[in-house]
Amino acid sequence: MGRTVRGPPFGSYCRCLIVDVKKFAIPEIIFGRGSLDYAGLCARRLGAATAFLVSDSGLEKVGWVSRVKEILERENLRWVHYSNVVSNPRDHQIEEGADLYLKEGADVVIALGGGSPMDAAKGIAVVASNGGRIHDYEGANRIHRPLPPMVFIPSTAGSGSDISQFAIINDTHRCVKMSIISRTLVPNISIIDPLILETKGEELIVASAVDALCHAVESFVSPIASPFTESQSLRAIQLIVQHLHRAREERSLDDLEQLSIASTAAAMAFSNASLGAEHALAHSLGGMFDVLHGLVHPVLLPAVMRFNLSASTEKMAVIGEIFLGKKRRSPRATAAAGIDRLEAYCQSLGVPTRLRDILPRRDKLPELCQMAVKDVCLLTNPRPASWEDLLSICEGAW
């Protein structure tokens, strides 16, 4: 044991040890029209007897919750349903859910919904297995004990929580959205059934897709992007540009399915490469003013991209080329024209595009930005940003 190493490879080996090492982790994915039908089998394969099903009232109304319950019963699984989840899920909802999980002796978490029920389900899994309050786990890599198995079924094509190691929970005392990031938050299985998207309205389709677009853009220019995340980011952008308008207008299943693929690709990217200043600001807006997450991106994404342009010109030019369909005379020109086109694209979606349209009080902007600089997403913005920088981004977008 312990022979001395020798030879040329270790020379370069040691020189390179400080060079960047990247991680890429995603759940097992079950994808396709009708894949929801596998939910019971998946839960059973993970050893479940009693499934803790987290969802929201909207999905209950259109019948998807009943459908999942039936599928679970067909596999002779007991289920407990927790639906007290709202948009920007609250800390006290996590605690209530974790208490119920433990009281009912559940042994697998199934989430059915958009980002809010899925993030709530992650929070419940953390508190039920690791104890304490959800606040104890804010930040990166603070969950130390294993979580119960998790099967997630996204009902929107955008949040990517079914793929990611992120959970965003509202601290209702501080009015802050806490970012909780851990490898253990990646669900075991993501069941992506595009048929579920058919029951979604136009507004939610657009808001979700723009969230995914933002995931793709921010992860692509992240300093910790890897070849494995970059290709997923670009694919997501291409698919959204190709399919969002038609998905919104015609609601064809083919286009909705492509948005599902785009959202999944974007989530594979941001889960491993993280995000940037835009999401840091979006989290603060959600925490302080309960603004719907999907409404923020058309407002802030172009402004944040302009701020980042000098620090990430080459990569922004690659994004620009997708939006423009061609290159301009220089990378900088392609990048800048691409951002203009992306901004026009957001305007064409019929959603608010100025900060004043979604935020009640301009005088709160400094406080908002002072909160956003503490968000962990800002660490991977390609250009360092002070709270004053964020403020001028917000002022510009007002």
Q: Which residues bind a copy of itself (CB under 8 A)?
A: 1-10, 12-13, 16-26, 28-38, 62-64, 66-67, 69-70, 73, 79, 183, 195-196, 198-199, 226-228, 231, 235, 253, 261, 264-265
User: By C-beta, is 15 or 103 nearer to a copy of itself?
Assistant: 15
d(CA 386, CA 346): 26
Residue 29's φ and ψ, nearest 5 degrees, are -115, 130
Nearest distance, CB of residue 247 and a copy of itself, angstroms: 15
Per-residue H/E/C for 62-115 = CCHHHHHHHHHHHCCCEEEEECCCCCCCEHHHHHHHHHHHHHCCCCEEEEEECH
Q: Which pair of structure tokens corresponds to residue 28?
A: 């097992």
* Minimum CB distance to a copy of itself smaller for 192 or for 351: 192
Rounded-to-integer distance, Cα 194 and Cα 258, Å: 9
Task: Specify the pairing of strand 139-140 against strand 176-181.
Answer: parallel
- The answer to whether 193 and 36 have CB atoms below 8 angstroms apart is yes
Query: How far apart are CB 13 and a copy of itself at their closest, in Å?
Result: 5
Minimum distance, C-beta of residue 276 to a copy of itself, in the bound complex (Å) = 21
Say what the alpha-carbon torsion angle 148, 111, 279, 178 is, to the nearest 10 degrees.
-50
Residue 189 CB, nearest approach to a copy of itself (Å): 9
Tell me the closest approach of the beta carbon of residue 99 to a copy of itself, in angstroms: 22
Nearer to a copy of itself, 107 or 278 (CB): 107
Over the Cα atoms of the chain, what is R_g?
A: 21
Environment class of residue 224 by beta-carbon count within 10 Å: exposed (0-12), middle (13-18) or buried (19+)?
A: middle
Residue with smaller CB distance to a copy of itself, 70 or 357: 70
Say if CB 113 and CB 97 are below 8 A apart: no
92 is written with which tokens?
A: 């006290």
Nearer to a copy of itself, 121 or 265 (CB): 265
CB of 45 to a copy of itself, least distance (A): 9
CB of 198 to a copy of itself, least distance (A): 5
Nearest-approach distance from CB 372 to a copy of itself, in angstroms:
30
Instruction: Strand 176-181: give its sheet, edge to edge.
Output: 139-140, 176-181, 166-171
Nearer Cβ to a copy of itself, position 175 or 195? 195
Q: 140: helix, coil or strand? A: strand
Residue number, 62 or 86, with CB nearest to a copy of itself? 62
Q: Of 17 and 103, which CB lies nearer to a copy of itself in the complex structure?
A: 17
Angle at 277 between CA 271 and CA 280, to 5 degrees: 70
